[in-house]
Every structure is written in structure tokens, then in C-alpha cells.
């Protein structure tokens, strides 16, 4: 028996573990953001990349590990109906400002 644990809204997947409006409960993780960006935007992402991303998204509740497709190493092909792509999009959207800041903060001289 499969567990239904969330829903798609547009391109975004909301797990029941981290419902809409509660997406920033975990700190920004530059490694997760880099991997999310790689998997979401590149057809060259391997199954190992996808699985590593899925494990990280399960770890922060963006995917539910009780759902078999949360850890299947498949990213899906359509952001409109893929849990993995939807959760990835959610993470990137929620942490875009932090990622930009992380990439430019060393350009400044702090006195």
C-alpha cells in the first residue's frame, strides 16, 4: 500500500511533513542547493545524483521517505507531476536569496 504524503501545486511539491508556508524550517545548505540546481536543470544528472538529492530532501522533510518514489533515483520528466522535481523547485525557490548571498558575500570588504 502506498502512502500519499503531499500534493503538487503548479511546479511545487508540498510534502505533508513540511506543508506550504513552512518551507524554511531548515538552514540553507550550499551543497544541497548546488545539487538541486544540477539535477533540476541538467539532463546529464545521474541516478546517483538524483538519489543523493532525494536523500537530502527527505532529510529536511521536503520529500517523505515513507513514499517509495521519494527514494527511487528518478527525477521524473515533467515538473508539473514529479515529486522530486517539485520538491527540488521548492527548495531552490525558498533558498534563492541565500544562495545569491553565499556566492557574493566574499566580494565585500568588511571593516
Residues 83/70, Cβ–Cβ less than 8 Å: yes
Q: What pLDDT score was predicted for residue 49?
A: 97
Q: How far from each other are the two terminal CA atoms of the chain, in whole angstroms?
A: 59
The cell numbers describing 102, all together, are: 553565499
Residues 86/8, Cβ–Cβ less than 8 Å: yes
Domain boundaries, the chain: 6-98
Per-residue pLDDT of the chain (111 residues; tens, 9 = 90+): 345 578 899 999 999 888 887 777 788 899 999 999 999 999 899 999 999 999 999 999 999 988 888 899 998 877 667 899 999 999 999 998 888 877 776 776 666
Q: What DSSP assignment string belongs to the chain? A: -PPP-EEEETTEEEESSS-TT-TTSS---HHHHHHHHHHHH-TT--HHHHHHHHHHHHHTTSS-TTSGGGGSS---S-TTT-HHHHHHHHHHHHTHHHHHHHHHGGGS---
Amino acid at each position: 500500500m502506498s502512502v500519499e504524503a503531499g500534493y503538487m501545486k503548479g511546479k511545487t511539491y508540498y510534502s505533508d511533513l513540511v506543508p506550504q508556508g513552512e518551507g524554511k524550517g531548515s538552514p540553507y545548505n550550499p551543497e544541497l542547493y548546488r545539487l538541486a540546481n544540477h539535477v533540476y536543470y541538467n539532463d546529464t544528472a545521474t541516478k546517483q545524483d538524483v538519489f543523493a538529492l532525494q536523500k537530502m530532501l527527505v532529510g529536511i522533510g521536503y520529500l517523505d521517505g515513507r513514499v517509495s518514489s521519494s527514494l527511487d533515483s528518478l527525477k521524473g520528466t515533467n515538473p508539473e507531476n514529479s515529486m522530486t522535481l517539485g520538491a527540488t523547485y521548492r527548495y531552490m525557490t525558498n533558498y534563492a536569496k541565500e544562495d545569491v548571498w553565499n556566492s557574493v558575500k566574499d566580494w565585500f570588504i568588511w571593516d
